[in-house]
Amino acid sequence: MWLISLAWKNLWRNKNRTAITMAAVFFAVILSVFTTSLKDGIFDNLVKNVVSFYTGYIQVRKKGYWDEQVLDNSMAYNEKVNAPLLSIENVSGGTPRLETFGLISTNKNTKGCMVVGIDPEKENLVTSLKDKIIKGSYLADGDKGVLLSEGLADRIKAEINDTVYLIGQGYHGATAAGMFEVKGLLRFGSPELNNQIIYLSLPAAAELFSAEGLSTSLVVSLKNPKALKESVDAIQQKISSEYEVMSWETMIPDVKQHIESDTRSMKYIQGILYLLVSFGIFGTLLMMMVERKYELGMLVAIGMNKTKLSLIIIIESVLTVMGGCLLGLLASIPIIYYFNKKPLVMGGEIAVIYERFGFEAVFPTSTNAAIFYNQGFTVLIIGLLLSLYPVYKIIILDPTTSMKR
């Protein structure tokens, strides 16, 4: 116990030295937590933009639809299809869609678009579509109006309450044509989605495309997206073999590959970061040993056991590193929270590059508690391992040489 007491007194005997050592650990923890949190936040936001904003985490379709995405490969939909899915623990909701491509026109312009018939209430539960309204109002069940994505509305010069014309091919080759009033404008995080989507209520879309009682897909949302594979397997067991279950990783392999590639790259960057952290902490320990060389030599010269002296130094190091880690973690919490609520928004060429790949150039931080634990623990281990250096110097210490001025 007296060793701990002595180590504690030694720390505050030279406050500047202790403060510098703790500061090295403090900033190392903040830097490590911030970079990891930013990396995870970017990937989570990417998946959120591309996956949860439209495709959902899982989709159920009739077999063959994915290979040939036409209305003729639609499936009959009723609540009997949806009910078994909702009994799965990790499934939070499901919504039917009727999707096809068509032409949208105003008196000024005509553009190609993706037409999506939805159940407004269920769609909002799965993808929070209502939150993306930036102008106008959301659809109601059986509504005859449409919702346009902001980019598409700008391309065809359409505003709220304008009339747009939809032309396409319906079920079994039927001609599809209709006039609709623009009820609202939507803004998506993904520029690709923002430039091409138009939403109708499911009854209006079914009437337009002569596809009553049909759906091209059933979009499923999850309570825990991390349990994606298990959820796919559970859904496949619950439904008929005439349907296929596809996760977003299968539907959008480019996004998955992008995340995996960036994750590998970030591991190298993380390694370099830990190396910098190690040099920073080691530098302060080296400075401490040079400064205390005479003091330690004198203690050994008057008969203090090197083992006990080493234990005191180890305790000092543990207290210093742990103190720096705790302070760093406490300081990083408001920083991470701030950048989670007000993410970094890139402009210029970086934004153009991201939009070219269909991603939003917005970089929020992740508030996952595991990041704080893992990074704090990693820096703590690095600090404690480097603390073995002073112990080594004490073991090989020669009192006569050390006490020379």
Q: What is the pLDDT of residues 178-227, one digit of tens each?
A: 999 999 999 886 777 888 999 999 999 999 998 888 899 989 888 888 88
Paired sense of beta strands 133-136 and 91-105, if any? unpaired
Query: Which range is least confidently modeled, 17-31, 129-143, 205-219?
Result: 17-31
Comparing CA positions, the residue from 201, 206, 218, 215 lying closest to residue 170 is: 206
User: 263 is written with which tokens?
Assistant: 């994750």
Q: What are 385-400's pLDDT values in tens digits?
A: 888 888 787 777 777 7
Burial class (CB in 10 A: 0-12, 13-18, 19+), 50: buried
For residue 269, count other CB atoms closer than 10 A to its CB. Answer: 12
In angstroms, the CA 375 to CA 73 distance is 50
CA-derived radius of gyration, the chain:
31
pLDDT at 200: 93
Q: Give the residue among 203, 211, 153 at the shortest CA–CA distance from 181.
A: 153
Express each pLDDT in 29-64 by its tens digit.
Answer: 888 889 889 888 888 887 777 676 778 889 998 888
pLDDT at 115: 93
- Report how far apart, in Å, the C-alpha atoms of 278 and of each of 292, 309, 319, 326 are: 21, 24, 17, 18
Whole-number percent of the chain with pLDDT over 90: 17
CB burial readout 123-145, b (16+ within 10 A) else e: bbbbbebbebbeebebbeeebbb
End-to-end CA distance of the chain, in Å? 33
pLDDT of 330 strictly over 80:
yes
Element (H, E) at 160: none
Query: Which tops the pLDDT comparison, 201 or 321?
Result: 201
What's the pLDDT at 198?
Answer: 94
> Residue 358 pLDDT > 70, yes or no?
no
User: Residue 392 has what pLDDT?
Assistant: 80
The angle at the Cα of 238, spanning 235 to 241, to the nearest 5 degrees, equals: 95
Tokens of 130: 């209502």
Of 61, 56, 93, 54, give the one whose Cα is nearest residue 76. 61
Region for residue 348 given its phi and psi (left: phi exceeds 0; alpha: psi -120 to 50; beta: otherwise): left
pTM over 0.75, yes/no: no
Environment class of residue 274 by beta-carbon count within 10 Å: exposed (0-12), middle (13-18) or buried (19+)?
A: middle
Query: Which residue matches tokens 């991201």?
Result: 354
252-270 average pLDDT score? 80
Rounded Cα gap, residues 149 and 332, in angstroms: 37
On the question of pLDDT at 373 being above 80, the answer is yes
CA distance linking residue 361 with residue 343, whole number of Å: 10
For residue 326, pLDDT beyond 80 = yes
Taking residues 325-339, report their average pLDDT. 91
Mean pLDDT of the chain: 83
Q: How many other C-beta atoms can be found within 10 angstroms of the C-beta atom of residue 72?
A: 14
